[in-house]
Amino acid sequence: MSTRSSLAKRLGVVAGFDDPRAELEQYPTPPELAAHIVHVADLQGDLAGRTVVDLGTGTGMLALAAALRGADRVVGVELDSDPILTAADNEEKVGTTSEIEWIQGDATRSPVAPAPADTTVVMNPPFGAQHGNRGADKEFLETARSIASVSYSVHNEGSQEFLEAYTDDVGGTVTHAFAAEFELDNQFAFHEDEQRSLDAEVYRIEWS
């Protein structure tokens, strides 16, 4: 089993978005954060012998991390066609031997239907910061609930109360929560700083 740091290093070659779309909140997931999420998933037994679905995969960072860490099968779902092409190129760069399928589709409409008992979702969904994206993370969670028995997701800081209330209502349990921080480069016209630090939180949820 590769270490978390060695996994992050291998993910360092993963290319980000060529032309990121602000309305889709296309921010790259940092290698260190992807490695951390997948490391925890592996320790919890949520990778081996399972299908891992990355909802809103972008250029494939979380999907590739899961593949490198030994998931049996990985599916990356992305609405935008351009990042899917980059994800396929990234797959060749990292040299994983696990089966990966890249699907262009809406992650909020269950474009895949694996067996939930054998499926783990990993995702860094939109936080809902852009107009028209309010509640986007909830829609991603609803998809995760419908296709998986466990999910790992990145959310805006201060989301624990919402997530615990939501999972209580729909039949789920937040089992793990940890803080995350990553640097965002200036990639949109409305960004004023060259780089800024974003405080976020990662949650593991078991769905019943």
- Confidence grade of residue 129 (pLDDT, cut at 50, 70, 90): very low
Task: Judge contact between 144 and 75, C-beta under 8 A.
Answer: no
Q: Could you tell me which residue, 113 or 42, shows the higher pLDDT? A: 42
| 3-14 per-position pLDDT tens digit | 999 999 999 999
Has residue 130 got a pLDDT over 50?
no
> What's the pLDDT tens digit per position in 80-109?
999 999 999 999 999 998 989 999 999 999
For all residues of the chain together, what is the average pLDDT?
90
CA distances from 22 to 19, 25, 130, 134 (A): 10, 5, 7, 14
H-assigned helices in 21-80: 31-43, 61-68
Would you tell me how many other CB atoms lie within 10 Å of the CB of residue 115? 11
Distances (CA, A) of 96 to 31, 46, 88, 134: 15, 18, 11, 35
pLDDT confidence of residue 11: 97
Q: How far apart are CA 111 and CA 143, in angstroms?
A: 9
| pLDDT for position 186 | 58
pLDDT tens figures, 135-180: 689 999 999 999 999 999 999 999 999 999 999 999 999 999 999 9
Give the pLDDT of residue 128. 63
> What pLDDT shows up at residue 9?
96
Task: Determine which of 21-25, 28-32, 86-90, 141-145 has the lowest per-residue pLDDT on average.
Answer: 21-25
Q: Is the whole model's pTM more than 0.85, yes or no? A: yes
Strand, coil or helix: what is 61?
helix
* Residue 20 in this model has a pLDDT that exceeds 60: yes
